[in-house]
Chains A and B, each alone.
Chain A
Amino acid sequence: MNVLTEVQQDRLKAAIQDGLPLTATPYRTLSLQLDLPEPLVMEQIEHWLREGYIKRMGLVVRHHAVGYRSNAMVVWNVADDKVDQVGELLRQADCVTLCYKRRRQLPDWPYNLYCMIHGKSRESVLTQLELLTRQYELQHIPRSILFSNQQFKQTGGHYARRAS
C-alpha cells in the first residue's frame, strides 16, 4: 500500500523520473533531498514496483549508440479474429522488441498489429523479418515495413506532476 501522502508521492516521482541518484545509497540520498524517512521512500517505490506503476528499476540504452543502427516498424493488417494469435507469435521472436495491437484508421490506415525490429543494419532487420515470416507462416498477411531515417527526438516521458 501507499506509505506516503499524495503530495509526498508526487515529490518522489518528480525526484526519480529523470533517474535514480548515482550514489552508494541512492534511497538515503533521496530521503535527505526530500526530507522523508528512507524506509518510507523505499517502501513506496517497492509498492509502485509490485503494482506495476514502475515496470522496473534499470537502464535505458540509446539503441543507436550501442550499435542498433536500424529499426523497422512492421505493421500488419490481420483479420480481427486472428490478431491476438499472431501477436502472441510475434512477441516470442527474438528480434521483436515491442508488439502492439492498435486501432485501424480506415480508410487511410488498415494496419492493426505493430512490431518493432531493431538490428545492426537494414539488411539484418529484413533478414530477421523474413525468417520470422517463414517460421510463423505469415506470408499471407498484408504488411508494410517502415524504416526510420533519422531520429529527431528521444527523451524519457515525463509522467509525474511537477512538484508545486
Chain B
Amino acid sequence: MPAAPADSRPTLQDKFELDQTDRRIINRLQDGMPVCDQPYLLVADELGIQEHELLSRLQTMLDNKVLSRFGPMFHAERLGGGLALAAMRIPEDEFDHVAAQVNELPEIAHNYQRTHKFNMWFVIATEQKADVERVVSQIESTTGYPVYNMPKIEEYYVGLRFPV
C-alpha cells in the first residue's frame, strides 16, 4: 500500500482559504494580461479593486503555493527547447526510490504516480531539443528501468483553464 496521500496531511496550502476576490483574480488572470506600462492597474480597475491589493493578493497566493507562477507561459518547442512526456513501469516496492532518482534531475518538470502498470509519468523539459534523449538515457542507466518516451504528434488546442 502506498503511504497516505499528500492531501490528507494539513499543509500551508490547505489552510489558505481563497475568498471571492482571490477567485475573481485567478479566473481573470488565467486569460492573460496585456503588455503595457501599468498592466496590474488595468486589471485591478477591471476587477474594481486597488492596484496594491491585486499585487499583494498575487504575492500571498504565490507564497501560499496556490499559484505556481505568474508571468509568461513559454512555448518550449518554439523556443528551441525540448518537451517530452515519458512513462516507466516500476515495481511498487521500488517506486519511491526510483522516483527520488528521477526527480533529482533538474530537467524533470512534473512527476505523477498513476494507477496503471505504467505507473510513473513525468515531463522532461530541456533547454535544447537534443537534450531529451540524453536525459532519457541518463534515467535508464541510473535506475536500470526502460523509459518510454511518448512523443507528441499533434496538440488539440484546449486552453488550459481552471475556473475556481
Residues of A within 8 A of B (CB): 13, 16-20, 22-28, 42, 45-46, 48-49, 51-69, 73, 84, 87-88, 90-91, 96-103, 105, 108-109, 112, 114, 118, 144-161
Q: How far is the CA of A69 from the CA of B76 in the complex (A)?
A: 27
Q: Name 30 A/B residue pairs within 8 A (Cβ), A-sorted.
A: A18-B71, A19-B69, A19-B71, A24-B40, A53-B78, A54-B74, A57-B32, A58-B30, A58-B31, A59-B30, A61-B164, A65-B13, A65-B16, A65-B66, A69-B7, A73-B114, A96-B158, A97-B162, A105-B148, A109-B118, A114-B85, A145-B115, A148-B115, A149-B2, A149-B5, A149-B115, A151-B112, A154-B68, A154-B110, A155-B68
Is the Cβ of A59 less than 8 Å from the Cβ of B67?
yes
Is the Cβ of B116 less than 8 Å from the Cβ of A146?
yes
Is the Cβ of B35 less than 8 Å from the Cβ of A61?
no
Interface of A (DSSP majority class): mixed
Q: Chain A nearest CB: distance from B72 CB in Å?
A: 4
For residues 56 through 104 of chain B, which have their beta carbon under 8 Å from a beta carbon of chain A?
Answer: 58-59, 62, 64-76, 78-79, 81, 83, 85, 87, 99, 103
B interface, how many residues as a size bin?
35 or more
Is the Cβ of B40 less than 8 Å from the Cβ of A49?
no
Q: How far is the CA of A150 from the CA of B127 in the complex (A)?
A: 27
Is the Cβ of A54 less than 8 Å from the Cβ of B73?
yes
Q: Is B123 an interface residue (CB 8 A)?
A: yes
Q: How far is the CA of A16 from the CA of B79 in the complex (A)?
A: 14
Is the Cβ of A62 less than 8 Å from the Cβ of B65?
yes
Q: Chain A nearest CB: distance from B122 CB in Å?
A: 8
Q: Is B10 an interface residue (CB 8 A)?
A: no
Q: Is B38 an interface residue (CB 8 A)?
A: yes
A residues within 8 A CB of B38? 24-25
Is the Cβ of B103 less than 8 Å from the Cβ of A153?
yes
Interface of B (DSSP majority class): mixed
A84, closest chain B residue (CB): B154
A88, closest chain B residue (CB): B156
Is the Cβ of B2 less than 8 Å from the Cβ of A150?
yes
Q: How far is the CA of A67 from the CA of B158 in the complex (A)?
A: 20
Q: Chain A nearest CB: distance from B7 CB in Å?
A: 6
B78, closest chain A residue (CB): A53
Please give 14 more A-B residue pairs, beta carbons under 8 A apart, in addition to A100-B156, A150-B112, A153-B122. A17-B71, A45-B72, A54-B74, A57-B35, A59-B26, A59-B29, A66-B26, A73-B114, A84-B154, A87-B154, A98-B160, A114-B150, A148-B114, A150-B6
